[in-house]
């Protein structure tokens, strides 16, 4: 299964994806961006902060699934890193500036 332009291709049979009438986007991008900024600020304010996904979820007050997605995105962009013990910690400032 792959997404090509606005078509979804399943086993070689393209189908058009249509948004139902009255569809409302549930994602609030401004709210998510504010949450991401808050998470980054927490790690910057407490340089020794090291949290598992579960701990981060409780500490930040967000559900575990969203927390996982956000922390992984921050890890992927170099803001955070994940230790061998699955603890998310702040990436070194010098390494972050290089990006």
Rounded CA-CA distance 57/16 in Å is: 37
Helices (H) and strands (E) in the chain, counts: 4, 6
Rounded CA-CA distance 28/89 in Å is: 26
* 25 C-beta neighbours (distance < 10 Å), count: 7
Q: Which CATH class is domain 29-98?
A: mainly alpha
Q: What is the pLDDT of residues 28-80, one digit of tens each?
A: 788 889 999 999 999 999 989 999 999 999 999 999 999 999 999 999 999 99
Place of tokens 């401004």: 30
pTM: 0.66
């Amino acid at each position: 299964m792959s997404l090509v332009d606005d078509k979804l291709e399943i086993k070689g049979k393209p189908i058009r994806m249509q948004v139902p009438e009255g569809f409302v986007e549930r994602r609030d991008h401004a709210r998510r961006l504010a949450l991401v900024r808050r998470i980054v600020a927490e790690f910057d304010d407490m340089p020794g902060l090291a949290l598992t996904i579960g701990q981060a979820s409780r500490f930040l007050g967000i559900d575990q699934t969203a927390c996982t997605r956000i922390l992984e995105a921050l890890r992927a962009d170099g803001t955070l890193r994940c230790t061998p013990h699955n603890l998310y910690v702040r990436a070194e400032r010098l390494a972050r500036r290089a990006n």
